[in-house]
Amino acid sequence: REGRRPLIAGNWKMHMTHLEAIGLVQKLVFSLKERELDDAEVVVLPPFTALRSVQTLVTGDKLPVGYGAQDLSAHDSGAYTGEVSGAMLAALACGFVVVGHSERRALHGEDDATVAAKVQAALRHGLTPILCVGEGLDVRRAGQHVPHCTDQLDAALEGLSADQVRGVVLAYEPVWAIGTGEVATPEDAQEVCGALRSRLDGRFGPETASAVRILYGGSVKAANTAGILAGPDVDGALVGGASLDADEFAQICRIAA
Ligand code: PEP
């Protein structure tokens, strides 16, 4: 992996009150043995309402778990009722924020321009965007998954410098594999992650391409983690459902480390 540290990020989606979140993080930390995790970075992505509790827990005890949010506003402040800004997340010392998740694109009408604006908002506030791209089943069946994903990548990184792109994490999440139990094969994951890295190389140069971490996401479980992570361009996983089970998520983290 050319020195790229594996990253395992748990996307809790709209699960866990702040009280439940405290319990889950405590269980997770108990399940993770710090010494076994030297080689992997572990991040949880709770709902906004649990971020402060997770911050207090993780920072106070210096636990080996980072955290971030699942979305942010493209705007920095103002009359945007219901939105949460990058500045607010930075004030909670979030390290990461998911941008362009397929559920946001499909259910909340986020288009490529919105996703690009959110990537820029994250970078403006010192947050690492976890930028999601991925094709639906129709695109996959038509054999267009690689150009679909590289087009989404191009659109989301529009106007960024190579320096800025080095501050981004990518996640390849085929929509047909999210929450369906139908995991992509290791070859499928490697094919698209490799194509994304080649695209970064073409646009921003080899140094940037080899520095950026590219995750796979879609029905990752402990049982399929080793196979998925075997791809040379797959640097970790974005884990949905399995991140809500502390033991299962800890097991995935140990396999990655
Ligand atoms: C996700 O929502 O990012 C995801 C990968 O979900 P799941 O692991 O449940 O498929």
Q: Report CA(218)–ligand 1 centroid distance (Å).
A: 5
- Given this model, what pLDDT does residue 1 score? 74
Q: Give the three-state DSSP class for 37.
A: helix
Are 99 and 115 contacting, i.e. CB atoms less than 8 angstroms apart? yes
Residue 11: CB within 6 Å of ligand 1? yes
- Given this model, what pLDDT does residue 62 score? 62
- Given this model, what pLDDT does residue 200 score? 98
Q: In whole angstroms, what separates CA 186 from the centre of its chain?
A: 18
Crossing angle of the two packed helices 186-204 and 222-229, in degrees rounded to 10:
40
Are 99 and 120 contacting, i.e. CB atoms less than 8 angstroms apart? no
- Given this model, what pLDDT does residue 160 score? 98
Q: How far is CA 81 from CA 10, 73, 75, in A?
A: 27, 11, 11
**Residue pointed to by tokens 């080689």:** 39
DSSP 82: T
| Active-site residue identified among 41, 103, 135, 173 | 173
In terms of Cα–Cα distance, which of 49, 43, 57 is closest to 14? Answer: 49
- Given this model, what pLDDT does residue 64 score? 80
- Given this model, what pLDDT does residue 222 score? 97
Q: Report CA(44)–ligand 1 centroid distance (Å).
A: 13
Please state the atom number of ligand 1 nearest to the C-alpha of residue 173.
5
Amino acid at 28: L
β-pairing verdict for 236-239 and 214-217: parallel
For 201, phi and psi rounded to 5 degrees? -60, -50
Q: Whose CA is nearest to atom 4 of ligand 1?
A: 240
In terms of Cα–Cα distance, which of 76, 82, 195 is closest to 135? Answer: 195
- Given this model, what pLDDT does residue 4 score? 95
- Given this model, what pLDDT does residue 182 score? 84
The model carries a pTM of 0.97
Residue 220: CB within 6 Å of ligand 1? yes
| Active-site residue identified among 41, 101, 103, 145 | 101
In the chain the domains, ranked by start, together with CATH numbers, are 7-256 (3.20.20.70)
Indicate the top mutation candidate among 13, 107, 225, 228 to test ligand 1's pocket, ranked by most ligand atoms within 8 A of CB: 13
Amino acid at 162: A
Residue 178: CB within 6 Å of ligand 1? yes
- Alpha-helix runs per DSSP H in the chain: 18-31, 48-60, 86-91, 102-107, 112-124, 137-141, 145-156, 162-165, 186-204, 206-211, 222-229, 246-256
Is residue 18 part of the annotated active site? The answer reads no
- Given this model, what pLDDT does residue 179 score? 86
- Given this model, what pLDDT does residue 81 score? 98
For 69, phi and psi rounded to 5 degrees? -110, 170
Whole-angstrom distance, CA of residue 136 vs CA of residue 10: 22
Is residue 101 part of the annotated active site? The answer reads yes
DSSP 146: H
pLDDT in tens, the chain (257 residues): 778 999 999 999 999 999 999 999 999 988 886 656 668 999 999 999 999 999 998 876 666 899 999 999 999 999 999 999 999 999 999 999 999 999 999 999 999 999 999 999 999 999 999 999 999 999 999 999 999 999 999 999 999 999 999 999 999 999 999 988 888 999 999 999 999 999 999 999 999 999 999 999 999 999 999 999 999 999 999 999 999 999 999 999 999 98
